[in-house]
Amino acid sequence: MFDRALLALPGARGAYALTGALTLARALAVVGQAWALASFIVGVWAGSSLAAEAPWLAAFLACFVGRQVILAAQDAYLDRYAYARAHELRERALRAVFAAGPRLTAARGSGAVVADVVEGVDSVETYVALIIPKMSAVVIIPLVLLLAIFPLDWVSGLIALVCFPFIILYMVMIGHTASDEAARRHAQFQVMSSHFVDSVRGIDTLKAFGLARAHSARIFAVSERFREVTMKTLRIATLSSAVLDAFATLALAAVAIMLGFRLVDGDLAFFPALAVLILVPEYFKPIREFAADYHATLDGKTALAALGELIAEGEGLAEGASPEAAPSFEVAVQAPAAPEAAPSFEAPAQSPAAAAPSLVFSGVGFSYPDFEGALSDVSFSFAAPCKVAVVGASGSGKSTLLSLIGGFADPTCGTMRAAGALTPTLRTPAWQRRVAYIPQDPYVFHASVRDNVAFYRPDATDVQVREALAFVGLDGVVDALERGVDEPIGAGARELSGGQAQRIALARAFLARERDVLLLDEPTAHLDIETELELKQHMLALMEGRLAFVATHRLHWVADADYVLVMEGGRVAWQGTTSDARAAGVLEKLGGAL
């Protein structure tokens, strides 16, 4: 059950060395404890007074207390080490997920990613805290005790030596089967997690179309598959633990029987027989303890492998390491010419860091690993202030275009310029610090109202947070809460309606005024018309002075935009100003297609 990936963890070799030293000290304490206890009992049995044998009793108590102190120190150290490594692993996984952007969660499923980052890391923490001391104990304690048993009674030492490798061999044999089942269980758990998240997201739609009851049967089927795989894994782990324990018990019984016969025959003295009888259970104890934690180590090993894959895939996507997704950019000497129908908005003559946001795409394309041509030959040129309506039917490439603009994904071809500078990717801190993103379903964190609103500005004051809440019309709602801006919201706390969640997202963007690129992806798709029209006024106010892109299939947004991009099949089918769109009858054609 040992995974070599553990050796790659920071400080792993030091942890193994320290644990090995403490385990060796424990083993020596066990030998001293057995020797002192056997000497005390034999002395009393021979008629010596308790006072005369008191030093042996004191030595036994000292070894016993020392052993417990060493064990407590080892557990405390490994708990801190496992927590630190798990914390680092979770941070690295989250960085990989955020760096890779929506492509990673789309490929693996958001539920599976959350399961790996949350429960998977917890399993790894348990695994690290268990496997290091268990492996050290299995290797060191039997070896030290065997060296103590052989001088006392070579027959018992031989029995212990012969039985131990058979137990290890059996562990290896069942380890492969159990590991495979654990991997299947983990895969089924990821499927169930993703299915659950999708079901929760779509519950309103299912209820609206009367499909909730039928969908419950699918939820039951997915849960049953996970239950069956889990029970099979538990059965293997439990039976394996029982068999390992039985092997150790039989070996102990064989030693005890041989000691009894030879003690009765007079071939063995009382002291070595008693000392060996005390040592042999300790000899097999590491195997018994390992068997007791067998299932936990299985889950941890599987979770560690899954996290390694998640991090490698996320970092690979972030760095463009995948050959299929590797960008091939042209090197342009000067800014690409804007397409014929695209107006050119001149940016102020300032340094790129201080300049108003400007963005130029020329022949930009993007492909998913399993979908070629998600975007093809996209060209435009914009600079703030400008409100751009990106319209088109579902699947036309609106959200993918916003992913490129937000730096969540990298193009596979074409050139891009941001603030006048040629760049192969917008996945840079300098650009992403300028972007505020409002999706269809804004995520509300399990935190206070203040922390949710101050997402982009953690240093914001209460006055600033309340100003943002007042701007989006949530001040009255928040004031009515028992704890005001300190009231917990999100999963497990006070739930918000769809409109209130959108207002929280708008308040975040209002508070982060330095973020001058605003991306809205179907921001009112799931709202009723009254709420949509009210929120629209707040959104339009946020767009003032910014470079704003609104991906939508609702045409009333076009009337308030400065420019229109019509997406169709991953291409820009038409682009121009709002007045040009009206004159060309584009909106009427779109109205029939959407």
What residue ranges define each of the domains in the chain, with the CATH number in brackets? 13-319 (1.20.1560.10), 357-434+518-528+546-594 (3.40.50.300), 441-515 (3.40.50.300)
First-residue to last-residue Cα distance in the chain: 56
pLDDT given at position 70: 94
Contact residues for 518 (Cβ-Cβ < 8 A; gap 6+): 435, 436, 438, 509, 542, 543, 546, 547, 548, 549
Q: Give the length of the chain.
A: 594
CA 92/CA 108 separation, integer angstroms: 17
Show the tokens assigned to 301. 């090993």
To 10 degrees, the CA torsion angle through 200, 205, 209, 212?
Answer: 0
pLDDT tens digits along 475-531: 888 888 888 888 888 765 566 777 788 888 888 888 888 888 989 888 776 666 777
pTM above 0.85, yes or no: no
Specify the DSSP class assigned to residue 10: T
Beta strand spans in 111-264 (E)? none
pLDDT given at position 350: 34
Neighbours of 433 (CB within 10 A): 12
pLDDT given at position 576: 87
pLDDT given at position 34: 92
Q: Is the dihedral of CA 38, 40, 41, 43 positive or negative?
A: positive
Show the tokens assigned to 253. 């019984």
Contact residues for 336 (Cβ-Cβ < 8 A; gap 6+): 360, 362, 363, 379, 415, 417
CA 318/CA 590 separation, integer angstroms: 36
CA 468/CA 512 separation, integer angstroms: 10
Positions of the chain with pLDDT lower than 50, given as ranges: 321-354, 592-594
Closest to 131 in 3D by CA, of 295, 320, 333, 273: 295
For residue 50, with 0-12 CB atoms within 10 Å meaning exposed, 13-18 middle and 19 or more buried, which class applies?
exposed
549: which strand partners? 388, 519
pLDDT given at position 103: 65
Q: Where is 423: in which H helix or E strand? A: strand 421-423
Contact residues for 578 (Cβ-Cβ < 8 A; gap 6+): 389, 558, 559, 561, 562, 563, 564
Bin 473: left if φ > 0, else alpha if -120 < ψ < 50, else beta: left
Show the tokens assigned to 77. 């150290």
Instruction: Judge contact between 478 and 485, C-beta under 8 A.
Output: yes
Can you list the alpha helix ranges (DSSP code H) found in 498-551? 498-511, 529-543
Instruction: Give the chain's largest Cα–Cα span.
Output: 116
pLDDT given at position 144: 93
pLDDT given at position 101: 66
CA atoms within 13 A on the CB side of 371: 13
Show the tokens assigned to 286. 């590491």
Instruction: Judge contact between 93 and 42, C-beta under 8 A.
Output: no
Give per-residue burial for 111-122: e unless 16+ CB within 10 Å, then b. bbbbbbbeebbe
* 142: preceding bond cis by omega (within 30 degrees): no
Residue 377, amino acid: D
